[in-house]
Amino acid sequence: MAFSVPDLPYAFDALEPHIDAQTMEIHHDKHHAAYVNNANAALEGTEWADRSVEDVLTNLAALPADKQGPVRNNAGGHYNHTLFWESMGPGKGGEPGGALGDAIASTFGSFGEFQAQLKAAGVGRFGSGWAWLVHNGSGLAIVSTPNQDNPISDGHTPLLGVDVWEHAYYLKYQNRRPDYLDAWWHTVNWDVVAERFAAVA
């Protein structure tokens, strides 16, 4: 079963004014679709063509050598964007409560300090990539990955990720990546992040 682009769980304009509708439409319909098409083309005819994207990304070294680069970038792009769309929603934001809220406070000192550290990871990512809240097997951590690399390839479980490629923000924010990251917090669906945390914690 080849990969396919999942429908956005909300309208293109649902994250306005924080993320504009045109950015969402191009990002989902063009960028994400290209990752899916390229991943499927790379995997076609290999024994990996019917495996899950998680399976592929956690076994990159087992793929044929000439497939590893294209699959890392494009299956990674598919996985990352699917997680990204699911992690946002209209009327979201705020702060998580419950076990996730407690874990963030005990790991980072406060929710505000956590936000500052994740923002710093995104701002500090040179070029294109992602900033992540992950569970690393023992607890919460913030990491950053280049390009479309994903923490699952390093054995970590991504709980929340933010795309800091210019295509994620340039139409509205131009070079102001920090402003985009400040606005993005208003879209975070903490219910979904808490479910991911509960599954690994």
Q: Is 184 in the site for Mn ion (CB under 5 A)?
A: no
Position among 39, 163, 164, 173 found at the interface with Mn ion (CB under 5 A): 163
Rounded to whole angstroms, what are the CA distances from 164 to 39, 154, 190? 21, 20, 19
Which is closer to Mn ion, CB of 165 or CB of 184? 165
Q: Considering only CA atoms, which of 191, 57, 196 is closest in space to residue 133?
A: 196
Which is closer to Mn ion, CB of 165 or CB of 197? 165
Q: Is 165 in the site for Mn ion (CB under 5 A)?
A: yes
Please give the residues from 124 up to 143 whose contact with Mn ion meets the rule CB under 5 A: none
Q: How far apart are CA 145 and CA 108, in angstroms?
A: 20
Q: Is 149 in the site for Mn ion (CB under 5 A)?
A: no
- Give the alpha-carbon dihedral of 32, 38, 39, 40, to 10 degrees: 110
φ/ψ region of 46 (left if φ > 0, alpha if ψ in -120 to 50, else beta) reads beta
**CB of residue 193 vs Mn ion: minimum separation in angstroms?**
19
Closest residue to Mn ion, judged by C-beta, is 163
Binding residues (CB under 5 A) for Mn ion: these are 163, 165
